[in-house]
Amino acid sequence: MALPRRKKESNISFEFVPRNVWKLRKREDIETYIGGYKHFLQECKTVREAIEYFVKMLETRGFKRLSKLPIRGRGRPPTKLDVYEVYKNKTLVAFRIRPPFVKGINLVAAHLDSPKLDLKPMPIAEKEGFAIGKTHYYGGIKKYQWFNLPLAVHGTVVKTDGSTVKVRIGEDPSDPVVLITDLLPHLDRRDDPVQKLFKGEDLNVILASDTLGQKDEKEAVKKALLTLLNEKYGITEEDLVSAEIELVPALQPKDVGIDASMVGAYGHDDRVCAYTGFTALLETNNPVRSAGLVLLDREEIGSDGNTGAKHLFWMKTLKKVARIIKKDVDVEELTEVSAMLSGDVSAGVNPIFTDVHDLANAPRLNYGIAILRYTGSGGKYSTNEAHAEFVAAVRRIFNESDICWQPAEFGKVDQGGGGTVAKFFAETGIDVIDAGPPLLGMHSPFEIVSKADVYETHRAYRAFLEKFESTR
């Protein structure tokens, strides 16, 4: 058999080349969207703050809290329903239920927690004339990055009568900040590798240094601080035992680069996916089937606990929805025809440290949403690997919707790695793949994301929520 004759003028390429988002979108559209995102980042530096923000938005957009809806209402049960539910003020699910319910649901999941320093249950001590706050770090941090960094105090104190006191110090320009002070270079002769220099027990913040007229000489600064806290917040040292006080960078989101093409902020991981997923759901008015969002806590420490992904709160909530719309649907089976994008960030190519990546399989800033078939480490351990059929179906939706996307892995094969919530959802039978923007400086107090990628991630999530039907 003869080979078909090749057309000489043919210019067709069979290469796959990710596209640069800036070349395809309007700068003003990107900037408008980013304005809202930066506001959200500044307002919400803790899980509780983010939940409050989203609930307020959902209520104004007509979503009803599920627990307030009657299970046995009069008349015909609704076929359309915009609902949400919150658990323990730290995890949230929102659904736009559309008929027929049995067709399944498209979901985006993201986590709201970020690495931070939590105050210990008995945090306040006095040392050399300073009141210090003892902390226990949360999530994977490089400890040295948290020294000499202005820190804000965000938290909730719950008293034994159940009343709560909110604390937020360090965000207003006139507020004081706290910080952990590093050793001066002149006296720093410790020659261990940098990471080993810092012990978790060294992460003590300076809280105060004034005795404020305390007569009692012993631990006068600590006593003065406790008096101050009582005057200001009505709390005692014992109340701190039932408090969640978090120290987060007292930094505002800032444009990065002379061209202002990026945003630097605390906690892009993973509030960037929470925000883009949320705005995508709000804009999803006529999805081909039901759509929803799952916002989680505890991802950074393994998704354990009843506000993390291991607690299948989203499925429980979906079962309640089924009861309200009186559909005799087995939600356990509904997951098998449903689909999810696990929204999480990935490690973008850092121009200074390129050798941790296989550059052909690494995501780059400005080239759109990165999709990761698997994460994990040590030979694909601890990950869900999305099936080729599902990857193809996601690819089709993205291509049909003109989304800039790029395939990616999480670093070189034996470099290390990381996990996401995807594998916990996969245990229910749902098809799930990781998809989110790449970052520079992940888990640092000031992470970098491309504005264009944030905008494109929002477009990608919206296309998926609105149009995904099945893997065919």
Sites of contact with Mn ion (CB under 5 A): 269-270, 344
Q: CB-wise, 321 or 440, nearer to Mn ion?
A: 440
User: Quick check: helix, strand or coil at residue 157?
Assistant: strand
Sheet holding 447-450: strands in order across? 254-256, 262-265, 447-450, 438-440, 346-347
| Closer residue to Mn ion in complex, CB, 269/456 | 269
Residue-by-residue DSSP string for 15-53: ---PPPGGGTS-HHHHHHHHHHHHHHHHH--SHHHHHHH
Residue-by-residue DSSP string for 239-292: GGGGEEEEEEE----EEETTTT-EEEETTHHHHHHHHHHHHHHHH--S-SSEEE
Rounded to 5 degrees, φ, ψ at 260 are 50, 40
Task: Residue 173: count other Cβ atoms within 10 Å of its Cβ.
Answer: 5
CA-based nearest residue to 418, from 123, 139, 226, 167: 139
DSSP state of 312: -
Asked if residue 467 lies in contact with residue 397, where contact means CB atoms within 8 angstroms, the answer is yes
Looking at the Cβ atoms of 244 and 269, the one nearer to Mn ion is 269
Q: Which spans in 110-153 are helix H?
A: none
Q: In whole angstroms, what is the distance from residue 121 CA to residue 293 CA?
A: 33
Q: Is the previous residue joined to 100 through a cis bond, with omega within 30 degrees of 0?
A: yes
Q: Closest separation between CB of residue 346 and Mn ion, Å? A: 9
Cα–Cα dist 220/128, whole Å: 11
Our measurement of the distance from residue 351's CA atom to the centroid of its chain's CA atoms, rounded to an integer in Å, reads 24
Whose CB is nearest to Mn ion? 270
C-alpha span between 196 and 142 (Å, rounded): 10
